[in-house]
Chain A
Amino acid sequence: MMNASGKKWAFIAAIVLSFVLAQFQGEINPYFLQIIIYVGINTILASSLNLINGFTGQFSLGHAGFMSLGAYTASMITITFQATPGATSSYVMFPVALLVGGIVAAVAGVLVGIPSLRLKGDYLAITTLGLGEIIRVIIQNLDFVGGARGLVGIPKLSDFFWVFSVVAIVIFMISNMIHSTYGKGFLAVRDDEVAAQAMGINTTKYKVIAFVIGAFFAGVAGGLYAHFVSYITPSQFGFIKSIEIVVMVIVGGMGNTVGVILAAIVLTILPEALRGVAEYRMVLYSLMLVVIMISRPQGLFGTGFKRFFKKQAA
């Protein structure tokens, strides 16, 4: 594996590159720019979920809930302080808003992490689904953020630079974590929680950390999304959205950082390319999900962690 300083250079290079490329974003057809931005946002979402689902083995179906918390929080901040695209104050206000959004989502991550302490597998999945829906219903009933009708007038502050800087940060942070003691802790929880506990590993701590960090980045992704589309409604962050992110993690290979990124790219571009057959999109999606789970559960790109999928004794 690459050493720490090598990674650091790659990370800095990535940030500089995204800044440079961002200068040219006016030249690209806005339709394609839109696709690229969505690729970036989905990459952040999928990677953050990968930490919870893939590396720590906690099956979370409510990721869109974290995303929505970040989206709404960040938007309320920029709207209240009237950030405008291009203004220099926005260069400070936007990252702050994104951060606060991420923190709010992270707090929710703690609240979701706590039930996870006692629940396994299916139960955890349903609980996270329920919590995601509860978040959605709560937002739907908050009139000051527009309720069911949605929040209009979010300043369009997201661009190539911000999105891909966060992508670089997410990948850097998560890959660092995985190769540290935390990573060992996550994987231990995933592989055999009872054994880990018996070995004295504080599984609680690792589960909560996974949720918190995953939720944080989902929240930031939500903020980036909101500031790109300028109009958000609670129904955009429902169960279906959570499923779309889960599909990216599954197809990419749970726990496979690069696989998940590639899956995010492919699964963002594919629906656009299939615009002509849009009505078949979800049908194909679900079919693909089933087929992959039956024939190649380690995802298209594999995990390399084959132990996880060995046949368990009846």
Chain B
Amino acid sequence: MSQLLQQIINGVSLGSIYALIALGYTMVYGVLRFINFAHGDVFMVGAFVGYYAAPRIAPLVGGNLFLVGPIVLLLSMIVCSTLGVTLEKLAYKPLRFRPKITILITAIGISLFLEFGGQLVFGPDPKSFPTLIPSTTLIDTPNLILTSTPVIVIATAVVLMLLLRFIVMRTKIGTAMRALSFNQQAASLMGININTVISFTFIVGSSLAAAGGILYGSLYPSINPLMGVFPGLKAFISAVLGGIGNIPGAALGGLIIGLLETFVTGYLSPTFRDAISFGILILILLFRPSGLLGRYEAEKV
């Protein structure tokens, strides 16, 4: 119990990363009504972009960490957005009117392709993620050690989430996204270009995943091509927990799952960590499929 504060910090920093990834899942679901299984692997690609970019960018700005970090972050977001949109245009768009099963399997296929392709291209061994966040100790007591790293991770995640909220609530294209998630037909009748909005959704979602990758690499500096599998699943569970299609819900869900996992690992047993997360998923789907903040959608005949 003495370590409670420490565990909370651990949980919140992990949860904020899950939230970033979960937002991508929830937005794509809201607009396309499908679960993009490959999203977790976009997160992985983001981390690897950081790995390869950082040593090349650092000399250009004289090793100034306050510059390298944001530049790498931006670069990663651009690369991943491109990847996301490309995947959407090549693989998901042709299947837009096909049964859900088809596109689901396609997404799984792409996910596996990124994972094993990553192993081939990057090598399967874990790589040491470069330090992008200058690490200083802020609080040093026996019961709580706080370094700058989790603080900056959480702060960055919050800033990005606020940015997202602004985009979704205050901009034209954000409003178009929301319209599309309410009713695709009506939205297109109102003159909204569905393809543009969908592409935009993927851009935003993939950027957030990329950011998640960079932040995750900064917190846990060992990256490998399969690193997106479990965080991806956990983020998906977070999105469902919060209410899939609901943006604040995804953030809330991420936080809850992050905290829950940390507490289960620390106070119960790490072996049950994954089982409990899946258990939550199943309970939610059975008893409250709309999630904590979501609306219930009746299936109309």
Contact = CB atoms under 8 A, between A and B. Distances in A.
- State if A and B touch, Cβ cutoff 8 Å: yes
A122 interface: yes
B150 to A, nearest CB: 28
Interface in A18-49: none
A107 interface: no
A106 B183 CA distance: 41
Interface in B245-276: 271-272, 274-275
Contact of B275 (A119, A127, A133, A314): A133
Contact of B274 (A57, A137, A246, A309): A137
Interface string A112-139: 0001001111110111001101100110
Interface stretch (B13-21, B213-221, B280-288): B280-288
Given A308-B99, A309-B98, A290 B104 contact: no
A158 B198 CA distance: 52
A120 B112 CA distance: 23
A178 to B, nearest CB: 19
B301 interface: yes
Main secondary structure of the interface of B (DSSP, over half): helix
A217 B47 CA distance: 42
Interface string A268-301: 0000000000011011011111100110010000
B240 to A, nearest CB: 8
B104 A125 contact: yes
Given A246-B105, A312-B99, A286 B286 contact: no
Given A137-B274, A194-B301, A289 B109 contact: yes
Contacts of A282: 112, 115-116
Contacts of A121: 100-101, 104
A174 to B, nearest CB: 20
A134 B109 contact: no
Interface string A233-250: 000000000010010001
B117 to A, nearest CB: 5
Contacts of A314: 97, 184-185
Given A119-B285, A137-B275, A141-B271, A311 B110 contact: no
Contact of B108 (A137, A287, A289, A309): A289
Contacts of A286: 109-113, 116
Interface string A170-203: 0000000000000000000000001000100000
A140 interface: yes
Contacts of A125: 104
A294 B95 contact: yes
A161 B279 CA distance: 40
Interface residues of A, number: 43
B120 A133 contact: no
A115 B286 contact: yes
Contacts of A294: 91, 94-95, 106
Nearest to B280: A130
B44 to A, nearest CB: 14
B106 A293 contact: yes
B34 interface: yes
A123 to B, nearest CB: 6
Given A194-B299, A309-B98, A283 B117 contact: yes
A297 B98 contact: yes
Interface size class, chain B: 35 or more
Contacts of B185: 314
B192 to A, nearest CB: 14
Contacts of A94: none
A125 B272 CA distance: 22
Contacts of A133: 274-275, 278
Contacts of B281: 126-127, 130
B102 interface: yes
Contacts of B274: 133, 137
Given A138-B275, A141-B271, A115 B105 contact: no
A46 B101 CA distance: 17
Nearest to A148: B271
Nearest to B100: A121
Contacts of A289: 105-106, 108-109, 112
Contact of A243 (B108, B117, B272, B289): B108
Given A137-B272, A282-B112, A130 B94 contact: no
A311 B271 CA distance: 45
A234 to B, nearest CB: 11
Contacts of B299: 194
Interface of B: 34-35, 91, 94-95, 97-106, 108-113, 115-117, 119-120, 184-185, 236, 240, 271-272, 274-275, 278-279, 281-282, 285-286, 289, 299, 301
Given A141-B271, A282-B112, A286-B112, 13 more contacts: A115-B282, A118-B286, A119-B289, A125-B104, A127-B285, A130-B282, A133-B278, A134-B279, A138-B275, A141-B272, A250-B105, A289-B105, A289-B106
